[in-house]
A = this chain, B = another copy of it.
């Protein structure tokens, strides 16, 4: 089981040279490559690694002198990471899920499962569920009543799809993700301290002893096509309308989307991002790891937020932001520099104050 250099080059629409019939079975970092590996050296700084390893073929940067590197064959790619996407898709064996409905899966008789479905053991599929063709559903997954999932879904171990959730085509769901838990929405009989301080920015008149009454989530969750959700991430149902994620948006592990959140298309939400209830995120937004977005605010199209940025107010389209509270990245870098010098600045001011006051006395 392997691929010829010719096959790979053709699949990647890339140029190749040398013995195009050479077969490789896997990809490897150059120095760790054995004779059956395709070494990955899409940048000249990895040239040395090729000499240390035993690869006979490599994927190289454009214009590399493959013969001088001692290779028998090479594939040339102008954009290494993009080539990695194609190559890794070819070489990924994918999860082993038999192309049957496992006898230990419980599929409600009213559920409609598309052709070619692979459904693993200990899976539950509820009433009126609809799943498109070629779904691969690993063990322990639960898909609750009325959920609809498009074609070519890959849903991994123990993921939870809630009632009436609707998901587009080519969905990928990592293990343990929970899509369609109830929103976190509670209200007190009288005005609560939180409501009060939102109006007063911190002032409180009187503290009442109150308990929280639950607002149930009547909405559900809607995910577009080509969405991926990471391991143990959680997406809550909306209160009245659905919580929505647009086409092509990718969500990493341990990310939290609150109730009513609207995320646009082609966004990247990195690990441990948290988006509070009713926030709206535009298209092509990138949120680095551990970013937080406050409730009810709007983050414009094409915003990029560095890791751990806390977005507390609306962010205009196209802005690159960083820090807590989020400001333009360049401003934040200035602030950070100034902060590091802050103790010294304070000392300078104290000295100045003394000098000026002495001067005042001596005048």
Residues of A whose CB lies within 8 Å of any CB of B are 26-29, 32, 40, 79, 81-82, 84-85, 88-89, 91-93, 95-96, 104, 106, 120-122, 124, 126-127, 138-140, 142, 144-145, 156-158, 160, 162-163, 172, 174-176, 178, 181-182, 184, 186-190, 193-194, 197, 201-204, 207, 209-218, 226, 228, 230-234, 236, 239-241, 248, 250, 252-254, 256, 258, 266, 268, 270-272, 274, 276, 283-284, 286, 288-290, 292, 294, 302, 304, 307-308, 310, 312, 318, 320, 322, 324-325, 327-331, 333-343, 345-346, 348-349, 352-353, 355-356, 359-360, 363
Contact = CB atoms under 8 A, between A and B. Distances in A.
A324 B308 CA distance: 9
Majority SS at the chain A contact face: loop
Nearest to A89: B216
Contacts of A158: 140, 142, 158, 160, 176
A87 to B, nearest CB: 9
- Residue from A215, A270, A333, A337 having most chain B Cβ neighbours under 10 A: A215
A120 B92 CA distance: 31
A122 B106 CA distance: 10
How many copies of this chain are found per oligomer? 3
A306 to B, nearest CB: 8
A276 to B, nearest CB: 5
A215 B84 contact: yes
A338 B344 CA distance: 9
Contacts of A312: 307
B187 A84 contact: yes
Nearest to A248: B211
A234 B254 contact: yes
